[in-house]
Chain A
Amino acid sequence: MNDTRFPLRRAAAAVALFLGAASLARAQDGGEVMGKYYRVPKPRTESMAMAMTISKNGSALNRSMTTWTAGDNAKGEVERKVIKFSAPGDIAGSGFLTAKKVDGSTESQLWLPALGRVRRLSSGASDQDSAFFGSDFTNRDISGFIESDFSYSLLGEEGGHYSVSAVPKKPGMGYERIVYSIDAKTYLADRVDYYKAGKLLKTQELSYVQAGPYLVPARNSMKSASGSITVIDISSQKVDQEFGDVFNERFLKQ
């Protein structure tokens, strides 16, 4: 009896070991894929023209703006961004300046020509989950996530894409789960699904264009399960250029 049982036990142990090792390998693979995603070279500075269209129930809101960004939280730098609205006419000239520190807190200022004054907007981690100018993107979706805030698992690989699930390690990350579809060649995401309360909340789709040595987004869209969609078309990308001192109130008011 022992002779027959022992090999079974050994086989079961081997299977368990194999499954355990396999699952460990998958988790590492997910982490590795996302590590490469986060380490895709990014421009030191970037400026671009953006046309944002928010559509819901057949009506649309179009806004045109130019943005300048510099800094990278991942490198311990403060990320700074200036947005200057150029259309529609009633908001033309309005400007938005934000500085995101490594700890996630932000300082924001908004220039409104009609009021003739710069307004400081609230800061704090919770604002990251607020809508980006009433769009389907949150500020966090725009500014990006921090690699170490999530644990990753590889869901599969198909058609030259890795599917990776990212689950927040702590609460307050805005989502319950994020599923990335990562291009196996470029390690850039071309689709991201955001889940909350067990339901798909919204889907982001990205396409890229070559700008200097970098691949930068040319179109970034976010479709919410509630039916609204925001499409940001990006053009005139300029990378690694010196802007001069644009991240200040004086430039905001110009």
Chain B
Amino acid sequence: MREFWGGLLRRSWLVVAVFAAATALMLVGAGRIEMDSSADAINPEHNAIVELNDAINKEFNSGRTEVFVLYADDVFAPERLAAIREITAELESVAGVLKVTSLANMTKMVERDGVLEASDMVPEGEIGPRDVADIKGYVASNFMLKSGLLTTQDGAATLVIVEFEDSADLPSIVAAMERPVRDHWAGKYDLAGIPSLESYLLATLHRDLPLLGGIALAIIVGLFLLNYRSLLGAALPVLQILVGLVWGAGGFGWLGLKFQQLTIIAPVAILAVGSSFTIHLLGRYFLELSRGTPKREAILRVLDHTGIGVLVSGAAITASIMTFQLSSLAMIRGLGVFIAAGVFSCMLSSLFLLPAILDLAPEPKVRVDMEASPILSRGLRRLGDWTTRYPKRIAAVAAAILAVSAFGITRIVPNTALVAFFRADSPVILGMNAVNRTFHGSTTAKVLVSGDLKDPELLQSMLDFQEAARSIRGVGCSTSIASLVRSIHETLTGEAALPKTEAGVAQELLVYQASGASLDDITSLSNLGYSEGIVNFIVPRLSTPETKALFDRLGALAKACFGSRAEVKFAGDVLSETALEEVLIHDFVVSLTLALILVILIDSLIRSVRAALVTITVLVSTIILQYGVLGLTGSAFNMATALVGALAIGVGDYAIHLTVRYMEDRRSGLSPEDSVKLALLTSGRSIFYTALTIGGGFVALTFSRLVPVATLGRIMVMTVVIVGAASLTLLPAACVLFLRNPIKSHLEVKEDE
């Protein structure tokens, strides 16, 4: 290996040129990255709930919803009705909008002077007092509307429901949808739905990224300066991080992947994880220089001794992050590619570019004596004495902490709802709460009913189900083919009931069609064969456990109301969010297990099985602690916190570096206890500063206004502290107890030769 590194150092300029060219190529790739902020991006693939929701949307020409609540003293005032009409017409022409339901375009079917007439609720042209009286009267008496489907009883608010295609770009569509409302509604309005939540999410991310990135970079550079007291010492890690970021982004762009909501975590993860390689290498470099080793020899020793740790740790982190590819969420897979490419690039850059630059740059004038830092060194020495004296006690305390954490894991509550991303005081949540207060919800729960929908008994079961569901807290108004038929029948006969025969149902629907209603009026509630229909309930966006509970209650009611008369299935945006929860847990378990196996395999191949098992002890302990704390503090398991396990492997490379150093000292003939003490004294310093640096990087995330990102930041800071503490206490104890005679790998044998 020494010859290989020596050969590279003789071609330092070439190495720098190759990296410069590759970085330029990756910059071009980074420029090709496209944003994907569609609702599709947060849907798991090949999931039965999501597929059913998609199928229902397609069959009934519906989609994801955004709702506007328009407030006024009297929404039935002529100028207000005219404004609703204008808003509805303009919303209907917005690209990507499938359907708009409002007071203006709701079909009004009345019998006037013996003539049956179906038309839009708000007529074209000037709206006169008679029109207003007609509309008010119809809304107050119509079976579907009188319960407050579109207007409040006092006429102080009205609802406009917009359904749009899943593929629509959410920030664009929410801007296009809000424009007509802003232009035509002279008064207060609130909006709620996936587009407004996603737009706010992206706007927050755009605001947060430069801020958080800046804070992270400032903290990291500051700590580098503190550690090395040299500009070169601060500039080189930043250069490695930049290479990692550019290559990560470039690889992402060249692969044609799209930047989605969670991809935003990648730069911070690369920043935090990728910096550790250089810290370890530079730490050893400055140590060698402080011992008076000539520059080139110092570089070669760094590569010989610390390079293997960087290689093991880089390969392990890359492999563990690449397990994200097993996810059924495109967003998580993309995130995995970005971080893995970035971290791998940081490793390559640390192993090749960093030595080349160190070789070309003048020797640093200010040299830090890495072994003579009084306070830290004293502390590390004491720690070394303590860990070698009481290894069993340390192991026992660690076991106790792990037992408590394991209990905490059982208390984890998953919550993958989009609303959980936002703080309670954020404008989108305040708006959504206002909509919930006025109309009991801002989205729809869809109940697919399969059976003979012309059978009056089944239609009555539907009505019973709708009525019973109103007793469930949070469930608002509903629509269905049964409500429509009931409404038509009342208009035609004055009887507050459903038709008594199938022929009656069919013929009344024929009247409805013949009197001018559009095909969509019926096909949005039933298929053309009347064999499948949909009941739409207005429901609030809740946490996923609450949503599950709501759907469970709906399921029980459906069973009681329909019996064997019909088959019933449930769908809706909010139910898809619960599907995300199941997918996320599955992905988490599979990917983390595989990542740990990969770390063991890689470490075993490069070093030894026993060394790998000791390293993994620290990582597994850390992961148990992470999720234990998550459960004990009541933080939710979501898309962001699901990643902390894999990221722990990224920050857990201290263990690798410490065991590498321990084994190196054991090879030199020192006893296990003395090897631990020396490893702590030398690698301990790097571990301390790496922990500070990575922790500093993740501290930046805690300032995020997005709840999961801030939680991820907090958990990662805690992780860094835990891994650092475990590496400096539990790991040395484990080395003394279980790794007294580490088996040498082929690589180490060669090194010895």
Q: How many A-B residue pairs have CB under 8 A?
A: 110
Residues B117 and A60 in contact, CB atoms below 8 Å apart = no
Cβ of B671 under 8 Å from chain A:
no
Q: Max chain A CB contacts within 10 Å: which of B503, B505, B508, B518?
A: B503
> Smallest distance from the beta carbon of A126 to chain B beta carbons, Å?
7
* B511–A112 CB distance below 8 A: yes
Say yes or no for A91: interface residue by CB 8 A criterion.
yes
By secondary structure, the A interface counts as mixed
With A60-B529, A121-B515, A122-B117 already in contact, 14 other A-B pairs whose C-beta atoms are closer than 8 Å: A55-B528, A58-B59, A88-B506, A91-B503, A112-B508, A114-B508, A119-B511, A121-B116, A122-B115, A131-B518, A133-B514, A134-B518, A197-B93, A228-B523
Q: Binary interface profile of A, 21-59, with partner B (CB < 8 Å = 1, else 0)?
A: 000000000000000000000000000000000111111
15 A-B residue pairings within 8 Å (CB atoms): A56-B528, A57-B59, A57-B527, A59-B59, A59-B529, A90-B502, A94-B507, A108-B514, A112-B510, A114-B501, A126-B124, A130-B515, A131-B517, A226-B61, A228-B519
- Find out whether the CB atom of A115 lies under 8 angstroms from the CB atom of B529: no
CA A120 to CA B492, docked complex, whole Å: 11
Closest to B502 in A: A90
Residue pair A113, B116 in contact (C-beta under 8 Å): no
B114 close to A (CB within 8 Å): yes
Give chain B interface residues in 491-524, CB to chain A under 8 Å: 492-493, 499, 501-508, 510-511, 513-520, 522-523
A55 to B495 CA separation, bound complex (whole angstroms): 33
Mark out the residues of chain B between 45 and 69 whose CB falls within 8 Å of any chain A CB in the assembled complex. Answer: 58-59, 61
* B528, A59: Cβ atoms closer than 8 Å: yes
B119 contacts chain A at the CB level, 8 A cutoff: yes
A70 beta carbon closer than 8 Å to chain B:
no
B454 within 8 A of A: yes
Instruction: Find out whether the CB atom of A114 lies under 8 angstroms from the CB atom of B507.
Output: yes
CB distance from A214 to the nearest CB of B (A): 28
Minimal beta-carbon separation of B534 from chain A (angstroms): 12
**B59 and A113 within 8 A (CB):** no
B531 at interface by CB-CB < 8 Å: yes
- The verdict on A146 contacting chain B, using a C-beta distance below 8 Å, is no
Q: How far is the CA of A228 from the CA of B503 in the complex (A)?
A: 25
A114 contacts B499, C-beta separation under 8 Å: yes
Query: How far is A130 from B107 in the complex, measured between Cα atoms in Å?
Result: 12
Query: Is there a chain B Cβ closer than 8 Å to A249's Cβ?
Result: no
Report B67 CB to chain A, min CB distance, Å: 22
Closest to B520 in A: A226
1/0 per residue, CB under 8 A from A, across B89-123: the answer is: 00001000000000000000000001111110000
| C-alpha spacing A224/B618, complex, angstroms | 63
**Given A55-B528, A56-B519, A91 contacting B93 (CB threshold 8 A):** no
| A61 in complex: contacting residue of B499, B505, B516, B529, CB < 8 Å | B529
User: Of residues B93, B117, B528, which shows the largest number of chain A Cβ atoms within 10 Å of its Cβ?
Assistant: B528
Give the complex CA separation of A226 and B524 in angstroms.
13
Residues of B within 8 A of A119 (CB): 116, 492, 511
Chain B residue at minimum C-beta to C-beta distance from A88: B506
Interface contact B519-A130, CB-CB below 8 Å: no
Q: A61-B528, A136-B519, A197-B93 are in contact. Are A91 and B506 (CB under 8 A)?
A: yes
Cα–Cα distance between A162 and B506 once the two chains are bound (Å): 43
Q: Which chain B residue has the least Cβ–Cβ distance from A228?
A: B519
- What distance in Å separates the Cβ of B122 from its nearest Cβ neighbour in chain A? 14
Q: Find chain B residues with CB under 8 A from A60 CB.
A: 528-529
With A56-B519, A56-B528 as given contacts, are A90 and B514 in contact (CB-CB < 8 Å)?
Answer: no
Q: Are B119 and A110 touching (Cβ within 8 A)?
A: no
State the CA gap A112–B523 with chains docked (Å): 22
A66 CB-CB contact with B under 8 Å? no
Closest CB pairs A-B (n = 6) = A130-B516, A134-B513, A122-B117, A90-B506, A61-B528, A59-B527
- A146 CA to B311 CA, complexed, in Å: 82
